[in-house]
Each structure stands twice: as C-alpha cells, then as structure tokens.
A and B are shown apart, each in its own frame.
Chain A
Amino acid sequence: MALDKPYTNVPGTIVFDAEQARLGYHLNMFCMSLLKAANRERFRASERAYLDEWPMSEEQKQAVIARDYNRMIALGGNIYFLAKIFATDGRSFQYAAALMTGMSQEAYARMMLDGGRPIEGNRYCDDADGGGAGRGEADG
C-alpha cells in the first residue's frame, strides 16, 4: 500500500521525506563534510576533485558545481544540508532563498519586508490564480 503524500500538492515545495532522503543520502553527507574547515578548504581548492570522492550521481555533482539549489533539492538535497555549501561560499540563507525563487536578493528582501510571500494562491499546485510560486517558475 502506497504512503499518503498530500504534500506533493503544495506548489514550489519538495518535502524531504523517506524517498528524497534515500535519493540524496550521499549528496547530503558530502554537504555535511563541509562543517569541517579543512574540508571546506579542500572543496574550494578543487570542487570537482572533492566531489569525485563521494558516490554521488553525475547529475548531483553538476548541480552542486552550478549552485543550482532547486535541482539539488529535486535530487534529494535537504536545505539544512545544502546550507553548508552556501556557508562555504560565504552566503546567507536569504541569498540562497532569493536564488531559488528566481528573484534578485534585493527584490526578495523587499518582499520579506512587505510581509513575505502571500499564502493566497500558494496553497495548491492547481490554485486557480497560480500565485508567485508555481513549480514552473523554478525553471524560468
């Protein structure tokens, strides 16, 4: 019997469930290794060589090199693990969040000051008015 996953019908959102965690195990554990300063140095020195030490898929490695966080999440990454990558880059959660929404950091910060992304139109993938966070926007 399949598990009930009502959260697949939330726009612009991938819940890090058992299936995603299996898919992303090595990707996330690579991220975890960046908590050690020495590993951050080695990663910075040669990203490709460092990534090749991990049994990740080529697709996952390419997504890391491209800093394509939406792709990394689709491939099993979890944001709290992926945070180790943007921390290594000296970037903040707000920088990464803006990147994932396709907005400039300035526009994103302004949206937050204005009360954040509204819930109206952002509850279901098939919300009639679409909102600002349809899955399609990630690719745009």
Chain B
Amino acid sequence: MAVARAAVRRMARITAGVTTSHVPAIGAALDAGKSRDAYWNPVFSGYDFSKRWIEAARPDVVILIYNDHATAFSLDVIPTFAIGCAENFNPADEGWGPRPVPVVRGHPQFASHIAQAVIQQDFDLTIVNRMDVDHGLTVPLSLLFGQPAAWPCRVVPLAVNVVQYPPPSGQRCYALGKAIRRAVESFDADLKVQIWGTGGMSHQLQGPRAGLINRDFDLAFMDRLVEDPELQARMPHIDYIREAGSEGIELVMWLVMRGALDAKVKEIHRFYHVPASNTAVGHLILENPRTAAPDRSQS
C-alpha cells in the first residue's frame, strides 16, 4: 500500500452509518399522505433532524443493508448475502402494487468493485445484476429523503437473508462490515459513502405471540451497538428470537453497518418509538469522527 501517497490519492471513504426500521406500513402511510396524522406524526417526527442532517452530509453513495421479504428472492434461490450491481432497481409490487417512489439508481462500477474486494476477503457474496427492491430498501430511503422526484444519491443494495433460518450470525455480519470498509477504501474515486443497516427493532409478525415488543432489549441493543459492538456481535440468534421476536432477528443487519465504522463513533441522533403497526421503530445516526467533517475530508 502506498501509505506515503495516501494524502493525495483519491479514495472513497465511509463517513457515517445510519440504522432504521423499515416497516411497510410506514411507506404506505407516507404514500397515502398520512405522515402528519395523529398516529404517524410521532414516527415521522423522529426523522425531522435526520432529513436536515443528510441534506448537509450529502452522501454520494449509500450501501444499504436490508432484507428482501419474499419479493426478489423466493424459495428458489436464497442467497445469504447478495449485492446489487445493476444500473437501476425498480420498486417492487409486493402484492399491493409498487410504491410510488423513484427508481433506485445503483452504482455498477462501485458495487462491482465492492463485490470483488469483499469476495477476496472470504465473503462469498452473490452478485445480482437484476432485481426489484421492496419496502426493506425503499422505506429507509423515504424516511431519510422524504418524497423527492429522484433519490439524491446512488444506492448499492446489499440483501441479507433473514427469511429462512438461520440468518448469518451477528459475528459474520459484523465482520462483513469490516470487509466492506476495506473494500470501500480501496476504490480510487473521491466518493462520500454512507452505510445503512435496516430492519428491526423488536417485532413478531407471526403466530399467537405476534405484537411482541421489548423496549428494554431494544434500548440496550442500541447502547451496545454504539459502545461495545464486539460484545453485541456475539449475541446468539436465540436471544434475538426470544427477546425481540421472531422477526426482531433482522437486527443482525445493524451489525454490518457498525462493522464498517470506526471503533469509536460519534452518536449524532437516536430515536425510538412504539408502535408503527406491529413494530418498534429504532433509528441511529453515527459518524466516523475522522472522515465525517467536510473540512477534514478535503485534506
């Protein structure tokens, strides 16, 4: 590595991480113009700060960790980790018709670079050159960017299987984040990259235990994710299922985001609210202190 030249070399860098729940009803409420009614206003208000923050932060690309909900992937093919390398990703018809949101623009060159560099670090990603994206990906975009005519940045979708048990372990997700970071920093272009981890928080959508919410678990999870992610990464799947609900296991995706950030991060924003339909909504903004500030990124 040409360390001496690093100061002048153009390099992509991860400036910040965002986590958020991706409840489909949130998208439906926004699309139907209900975001400021009595039920939904407390949810959307938690993102007012975030909208202003991202307007100033202006990422070029978001690597968006999410899960497909039996939309692009059926039971025919179930990739544990799949990276989208297409030019565009269309909002999917999930049975209610596609959401009226802009087409998601990918970044084929950057995504393909990430794929190659991550596979060379022993993560066997599945490369996807054509897929539709469901609420797991579009609801987080709506929460951060509102309702623009076009999304203001490129997106690299990275889908994690959390539908058929077992999802990848917390350790594996956290290590993937670290591999993604190294891959980003080996891309020779001056790109400001954010990484988002979505899904969660506590919720269960199936069976007689549906409606489970565990506020204490959720808040402790956010604390550990920020302060001691190595410890959080060691939590076994059964603890998520038992404590945060069968669908709460989506939270392992937040660990991918965390692994791609510095060991010490600055917590810029935290939001927690119950309920959005069946789910506890959690949202964090974390910055890498060394790369987030625009003035320092110029050096």
Query: Closest approach, in angstroms, between the C-beta of B67 and any C-beta of chain A?
Result: 9
- Answer yes or no: B280 CB below 8 A from chain A CBs: yes
In chain A, positions 122-140 with a C-beta closer than 8 Å to chain B are 122-124, 133-135, 137-138
* Cβ–Cβ contact B211 & A112, under 8 A: yes
Known pairs A7-B238, A73-B207; A13 contacts B246 (CB<8 A): yes
User: Which of B75, B202, B208, B246 has a CB less than 8 Å from the CB of A138?
Assistant: B208
A56 within 8 A of B: no
Please tell me if the beta carbons of B211 and A21 are within 8 angstroms of each other in the complex: no
Q: B191-199, B226-234, B271-279: which one contacts chain A?
A: B271-279
Counting CB contacts under 8 A, is B267 at the interface?
Answer: no
Across the interface, name the chain A residue whose C-beta is closest to B249: A15
Residue of chain B at shortest CB distance from A136: B208
Q: Determine how close the nearest CB of chain B comes to the CB of A97; give it in whole angstroms.
A: 4
Residues of B within 8 Å of A73, CB to CB, are 206-207
Are A122 and B212 closer than 8 Å at their CB atoms? yes
Question: Are A12 and B274 interface neighbours, CB within 8 A?
Answer: no
Smallest CB gap from B78: residue in A: A21
Tell me whether chain B's interface is mostly helix, strand or loop, or mixed: loop
Q: Are B95 and A34 in contact (CB under 8 A)?
A: yes
Quick check: which of B102-110, B139-147, B160-168, B255-263 contacts chain A, the rest being far away?
A: B160-168
**B220 at the A interface (CB under 8 A):** no
Of all chain A residues, the one with the shortest Cβ separation from B162 is A80
Q: Determine the residue in chain A with the shortest Cβ distance to B97.
A: A37
Given that A6-B238, A116-B280, A123-B243 are known contacts, is A100 also in contact with B208, CB under 8 Å in the complex?
Answer: yes
In the bound complex, how far is the Cα of B94 from the Cα of A88, in angstroms?
10
Complex contacts, B209 vs chain A, CB 8 Å? 10-13, 101, 117, 122, 133
CB distance from B134 to the nearest CB of A (A): 10
CB distance from A66 to the nearest CB of B (A): 16
Is the pair B70, A87 in contact by a Cβ cutoff of 8 Å? no
Contact across chains for A119 and B214 when beta carbons are under 8 A apart: yes
Interface footprint category on B: 35 or more
CA gap between A100 and B69 in the complex, in Å: 19
Residues of A within 8 A of B24 (CB): 93
Partner of A32, one of B70, B92, B206: B70
Min CB distance A125 to B, Å, is 10
Q: Which of B48-85 contact A (CB under 8 A)?
A: 69-71, 74-76
A40, A70, A115: the one contacting B215 at CB < 8 Å is: A115
Residue pair A7, B241 in contact (C-beta under 8 Å): yes
Task: Look across to chain B and name the residue whose beta carbon is closest to the beta carbon of A81.
Answer: B70
Min CB–CB distance B212 → chain A (angstroms): 5
Q: Is the CB of B93 within 8 A of A123?
A: no
CB distance from A112 to the nearest CB of B (A): 4
Q: Chain A residues in contact with chain B, CB under 8 A?
A: 6-7, 10-18, 21, 25, 28-29, 31-32, 34-35, 37, 40, 69-70, 73, 78-81, 83-84, 87-88, 92-94, 96-98, 100-102, 108, 111-113, 115-119, 122-124, 133-135, 137-138
Give me 19 A-to-B residue pairs in the complex whose CB atoms sit less than 8 angstroms apart, sorted by A's number. Answer: A13-B207, A16-B163, A18-B164, A21-B164, A28-B75, A32-B70, A78-B70, A78-B163, A79-B206, A81-B74, A81-B75, A93-B24, A93-B278, A94-B277, A97-B206, A111-B211, A117-B211, A123-B242, A124-B242
Q: List residues of chain B with CB under 8 Å of any chain A CB.
A: 24-25, 28, 69-71, 74-76, 92-96, 163-166, 202, 204-217, 237-238, 241-243, 246-247, 274-275, 277-278, 280
Given A7-B237, A80-B69, A100-B207, 17 more A-B residue pairs with CB atoms under 8 Å apart are A10-B246, A13-B241, A13-B246, A28-B74, A70-B208, A78-B163, A78-B164, A83-B94, A93-B278, A96-B205, A108-B211, A116-B213, A117-B210, A117-B212, A117-B213, A119-B217, A123-B242
Question: 9 closest pairs, A vs B, by CB?
Answer: A116-B213, A87-B95, A12-B209, A12-B208, A133-B209, A112-B275, A97-B210, A80-B70, A117-B211
